[in-house]
A and B are shown apart, each in its own frame.
Chain A
């Protein structure tokens, strides 16, 4: 069955960095676009970043642009989110999600999330 497993979350000080990973299995990772979505405590869902199946195009939310970078390694079936200059407002559960297509689509498979806490 299709599965996504996030890792790399933790507690980090403001201004610090963290790299999240998302290991994919049960489908041909290299043919699907991927997303990162986050959810702050008690809040709604917020899209963070998107990357096309081949890594050729990527987009990110204004709230993280210039600080977060989405990437993928199709040889390792893994999606990444490099997070720099972290702020308190980046505290959230971070989910990776699979697109229904190689480009934009709906999010048809989600991981269980990894928690990032930015605090001094």
Chain B
């Protein structure tokens, strides 16, 4: 089955940059979406189609892709960015949607 692998956790100091990776076979040929989920809340999309940002999401959030890895970058991290982050793709070979394993971002 198709698996998207993320690091379980990332720790970052306020004002620094956090990078969250999402690895998967052939991810380079798929569109990647990123969701933020704060405790007790529903997920919110922060990046769609690899690098587009919805209105209302700070410019500090950006997405990129290289080879078999997609990356969500959070610049100038703030305490309010502390959350779980998930990548997601559409596996068109098996007609299913796949979420990454999730990364907990901790602001030190």
Contact = CB atoms under 8 A, between A and B. Distances in A.
B37 A111 contact: no
B67 interface: no
A62 B98 CA distance: 12
B44 interface: yes
A50 B97 contact: yes
Interface stretch (A10-18, A68-76, A78-86, A102-110): A102-110
Nearest to B34: A106
Task: Bin the interface of chain B by size.
Answer: 20 to 34
Task: Bin the interface of chain A by size.
Answer: 20 to 34
A95 B42 contact: yes
Given A44-B86, A45-B35, A45-B37, A108 B45 contact: yes
A72 to B, nearest CB: 17
Contact of B48 (A35, A46, A100, A113): A100
Contacts of B33: 106-107
B48 A110 contact: no
B73 interface: no
Interface in B1-50: 1, 31, 33, 35, 37, 41-45, 48-49
Q: Which 5 A-B pairs have the closest CB atoms?
A: A47-B97, A110-B42, A106-B33, A44-B102, A106-B48
11 contacts: A37-B99, A44-B99, A45-B99, A45-B102, A47-B88, A47-B97, A59-B95, A61-B96, A62-B1, A95-B42, A111-B42
